[in-house]
Amino acid sequence: MEIISGVHKIDGVSGANCYLVTSGPEMILIDTGLSGNGKKIVEYVTGIGKNPSEIKYIFLTHSDMDHIGSAMELKRLTGAKVIIHAGDAPALAGNNSSRLRNKGRFVKILMAILSKLMHFPQLEPDIVLKENTDIASFKVLNTPGHSEGSISLYLPGKVIFVGDALKSDANGNPKPPSKALSADMVQAKASVQTIAGLEYDLLLVGHGAPVTSEASTKVKNLLANWK
């Protein structure tokens, strides 16, 4: 569905939310869901009258399997360049020790089980970010906590994509990141402070409904009531 002009949430993608931005100088995709979503995402792109080859970048907000699962397939189908932060690049390339670094006991047990049941994609990224930068009209910010290399994409005054740095409920109210699934909650709160210090109308999370209408104010209120 088109949330605002030029910003789409691709419905029906299993795993994390997948977003498509068609406005701006380049068309970009943000996160790819679990493995097996590639054709569904491409069908959505063609369904709105766009050519999948127009997608220039695939941004991965971090290296969890529910966000990167279809990245390899989509790179093959579109020719887009895959972008990830240096902190999560080794995990994307298949380094399981990096994938589990600084994770809590619950996550390590879960990952050990899932690794036996599911195939983890291994992909060398085209662009590895080491610091905050500007790409395709977006300011790309390192917002660690959920993982070392988690990133957010910010279009000043309009929209921010935060991956798992925040969650939201079914009614579009922002929620804190999961403590059980975060590598470092001190960093996670600091990243929410960074996000709360920006201005935007729309907040788009990895899991949950879009946060619309005074989104930045809602995040500021969330931070003020953080427990």
Domain residue limits, the chain: 2-224
End-to-end alpha-carbon separation of the chain, Å? 34
Flag whether the pTM goes above 0.85. Answer: yes
Q: What pLDDT was estimated at residue 126?
A: 97
Q: What pLDDT was estimated at residue 115?
A: 57
CATH level 3 topology of 2-224: Metallo-beta-lactamase; Chain A (3.60.15)
Is residue 108 over pLDDT 80?
Answer: no
Assign 117 a pLDDT band (cuts: 50, 70, 90).
low
Is residue 179 over pLDDT 90?
Answer: no
Do 71 and 80 meet the contact criterion of CB atoms below 8 Å apart? no
- What percentage of the chain exceeds 70 in pLDDT? 88
Mean local confidence (pLDDT), 194-210? 97
Which residue from 163, 146, 145, 125 is spatially nearest to 16, judged by alpha carbons? 163
Which residue from 107, 186, 137 is spatially nearest to 26, judged by alpha carbons? 137
